[in-house]
Amino acid sequence: LACFSTSSAINNDVDSASEFLRSIPASGGITLDISSSHKCAILTLHNPSRRNALTPSMMIDLATHIQDLENICIKENGGKKEFVALLLRGEGGYFCSGADLLLARQRLASPEGGAAMSLFMSHWTTRLRRLPLISVAGINGGVVGGGTELASACDHRLMEDKAVWRCVHVSHGLVPGWGGGVRMTRLVGRSAALKLLAGGLGVDAKEAFGMGLVDGIVNATNSSETLADDENFTDECLCWIEKQGYFQWDTKAVQAAKQVVSSAACDDKEEIALQRERNIFCKVWPPRTITKN
């Protein structure tokens, strides 16, 4: 378990970043639903007018709910509800369009602002990845920029058949800074990662599945109600999780298996790579519009 601890210095920096982000008024939110009849908690991004772009308040919500889930897993013995999985989804027919760059240009444009956001999100996406729950990103509609980093932090990714995955960082003069560059490279390999991150290549669900970026494709629904589509997509994702066998076994056994896998992937090299990614991100921050040559 030593691998899962962080130094007090890092924690202090994350605490400072948290205070900074809390000081920025912003809309949007993230909710945690633990009422599912399945053994799966559900995190939902709520900022549909901005395609669920992450605002500072949403980043704080993410951290709060990850802590809640950590505590739930610790206290589960004898508890009323047991979980083995976590589904992360977006409201309004879209997963996530990354950081809210309009707000970022207004309130996070300083080097300190960019560094605080990068450290905070890298820290908490790592905590998300190391939860003793099987985490699944349900990508409906599409995912771009920092949204791809959030998705890559999960254990599995499911993609709606009409959705598109695009790392648009390069078009804003940026690189991933939340750990997504490291994780996507590990997922798809060096060559494909360069096409995604340096070339800005957008891939549809079939292409993403072929390169190992996502683990499954979910058929889109075509009702007249966005809410109904969201719920249908969620049901399809839960069915996929169930088919993997995660719900049928003892909760403690599944959580322990996840911890074993996390421990195998957790090493000093990963921590160094994440730190280097943040350093490079800070060198190119803030975002700007880049025209094609």
With a threshold of 0.85, does the pTM exceed it?
Answer: yes
pLDDT at position 5: 39
pLDDT at position 290: 62
pLDDT at position 3: 40
Beta strand 40-46 with 29-33 is antiparallel
Instruction: Name the one residue in this structure whose structure tokens are 């009702």.
Output: 223
- 68-86 average pLDDT score: 80
Whether the bond into 286 is cis, omega within 30 of 0: yes
Query: Are the CB atoms for 132 and 259 separated by under 8 Å?
Result: yes
CB-hemisphere CA count at 13 Å for 287?
24
The class that CATH gives domain 2-284 is alpha beta
Which residues 6+ apart lie within 8 Å of 175 measured at CB?
169, 181, 197, 277, 280, 281, 284
DSSP conformation letters of 2-48: GGG---HHHHHHHHHHHHHHHTS----EEEEE---SSSEEEEEEE-G
Task: Specify which residues 202 forms β-bridges with.
Answer: 166
pLDDT averaged over the chain?
Answer: 91
Strand, helix or coil for residue 54: strand
**Alpha carbon distance 149, 176 (integer Å):** 7
**Alpha carbon distance 70, 80 (integer Å):** 16
pLDDT at position 37: 82
pLDDT tens-digit map of 150-180: 999 999 999 999 999 999 999 999 999 999 9
Query: Is residue 75 very low, low, confident or very high in pLDDT (cuts 50, 70, 90)?
Result: confident
pLDDT at position 21: 96
Residue 281 pLDDT exceeds 70: yes
Query: Is residue 8 very low, low, confident or very high in pLDDT (cuts 50, 70, 90)?
Result: low
pLDDT tens-digit map of 24-74: 999 999 999 998 788 999 999 999 999 999 999 999 999 999 999 999 998
- 79-96 average pLDDT score: 90
DSSP conformation letters of 163-197: -EEE-GGGGGT----SSHHHHHHHHH-HHHHHHHH
pLDDT at position 6: 43
pLDDT at position 86: 98
